[in-house]
Amino acid sequence: MSFSSLGLSEPLLKAVSEQGYEKPSPIQEKAIPAVIEGRDVMAAAQTGTGKTAGFTLPLLDILAKGKPARANQARALILTPTRELAAQILESVETYGKYTKVKSTVVYGGVKINPQMMRLRQGVDILVATPGRLLDLYNQKAIRFNELEVLVLDEADRMLDMGFIRDIKKIIAALPRNRQNLLFSATFSKEIRELAKGLVNDPIEISVSPRNTTAEKVTQWITAVDKKRKPALLTYLIKENNWRQVLVFTKTKHGANKLTRHLEAEGLKAAAIHGNKSQGARTKALASFKDGSVQVLVATDIAARGIDIDLLPQVVNYELPNVPEDYVHRIGRTGRAGSSGQAVSLVCADEHKLLCDIERVIQQLIERKPIDKFIPVNELPPSRALKVAKNKKPKKPKQDKVEHKDGQRSAENSRGHQPVRRR
């Protein structure tokens, strides 16, 4: 399948081809035509599946055709949990929309509200926002939704985890009832299904497995080490292997700062990114890491969630995460867009249980490679054998499935881009 067969207009196809994308990813194949057709979509997809282009491309297609937004109005709203994600989505919108006249902007907390109010004054076609700041702007009458055509909830599960449910409900209550809804979430928990019930109308359901949780492109290994020798081992590995761009995960903000100082003292260019850093510092650290002037980026899980860096070759779990699923998210940072990557975990004896939990979740024993100079005094016990009992297996998302719930599209939706809601 090619991008041109998905119904996208020429200016979008040109921008996509400039990005070097050869063919649509599975989620794009399914989401793009459905959104253009005006259908509601519920998609189970993580970062790394190409989901952002999956909703921004058809949105741009729809919005390029209609009338531009009036003052203080937005025609499409993309809600996303973090500032980083919001900034990245805007970047995608601008990249794919560069040959269209679609106007877009982003609003999020932690920075001054006034410049955002000014930008909204002329109206925007696509507004990317985090929920808290958007609600502030709405309450101050800087944004209105009378002309809203499409709502996108991106990473809905994260937004609920981060306690945004009330804000989201307030925002939804302020939107016109006649609109198109796109819901993207890595997982579909009871809470998400509950939220979806009052939101989407006769949706197309799409479920794709992330490109790299199967670890086909990511080589994973662990090395056992005493806790206090982890800083020295990390430095050794970076220097010995000449790793040029390394994303390192720590469990705490304090740990991230301390490790960054250690790496810098060892002559490595390093920066930390976590929730206590200002937005400016986070953006700067990420930009320096992307352009290669910072070699090692040390991050906590929350700060790193959703960071999208193409072709990231090397991830190090300096400490294992408490939640095994975070391991999958962490190693999903590597091997993007068809490249290969390597994920290494430095594991001390205290972390044995965490390791076993991870191996149970990924249903795979991770290869161990001893490093001669760092053989631990406190031995890491062997991994537990994996139980393959049927009911113990973690639930896997179904592969590339599309369901047309009613098997056919409605007459209203096949006419154009204005979905008609039947409540």
| Contact positions vs ligand AMP (CB under 6 A) | 21, 24-25, 28, 47-53, 308, 310, 336-337
158 close to 305: Cβ distance less than 8 angstroms: yes
What contacts 391, CB < 8 A, 6 or more positions away?
Answer: none
Match 């709405």 to its residue by tokens: 138
Q: CB of 6: closest distance to ligand AMP in angstroms?
A: 11
In one-letter notation, the amino acid at residue 342 is Q
Query: Would you say 29 or 167 has its CB closer to ligand AMP?
Result: 29
**Helices H, strands E: what count in the chain?**
16, 15
* Nearer of residues 310 and 367 to ligand AMP, judged by Cβ: 310
Which H, E and C letters describe 54-104, residue by residue? HHHHHHHHHHHHCCCCCCCEEEEEEECCCHHHHHHHHHHHHHHCCCCCCCE
Distance CA 10, CA 332 (A): 32
Compute the least distance from the CB of residue 92 to ligand AMP, in Å: 7
| Closer Cβ to ligand AMP, 83 or 230, answer by number | 83
Q: Of 20 and 267, which CB lies nearer to ligand AMP in the complex structure? A: 20
**In angstroms, what is the minimal distance from the CB of 120 to ligand AMP?**
25
Q: Which is nearer to ligand AMP, 265 or 311 (CB)?
A: 311
Give the tokens for residue 209: 């497995």
Q: Which is nearer to ligand AMP, 308 or 357 (CB)?
A: 308
Q: How far is the CB of 382 from ligand AMP (least distance, A)?
A: 36
Distance CA 281, CA 343 (A): 26
Token pair for residue 364?
A: 């795979």
387 within 8 A of 356, measured Cβ to Cβ? no
CB 232 within 8 A of CB 376: no
In the complex, minimum distance from the CB of residue 132 to ligand AMP, in angstroms, rounded to a whole number: 23
Least Å distance, CB 337 to ligand AMP, is: 4
Tokens of 227: 């806790």
User: Which of 38, 48 has the CB closer to ligand AMP?
Assistant: 48
Nearer to ligand AMP by Cβ, of 99 and 236: the residue is 99
Count CB neighbours of 85 within 10 A: 23
Q: Taking CB positions, which residue lies at the least distance from ligand AMP?
A: 52
Q: DSSP 3-state assignment of 402?
A: strand
In terms of C-beta density within 10 A (0-12 exposed, 13-18 middle, 19 or more buried), how is residue 391 classed?
A: exposed
| Shortest Å, Cβ 87 to ligand AMP | 13
Q: Are 120 and 105 a contacting pair, CB within 8 Å?
A: yes
Least spacing, CB of residue 258 vs ligand AMP, in Å: 30
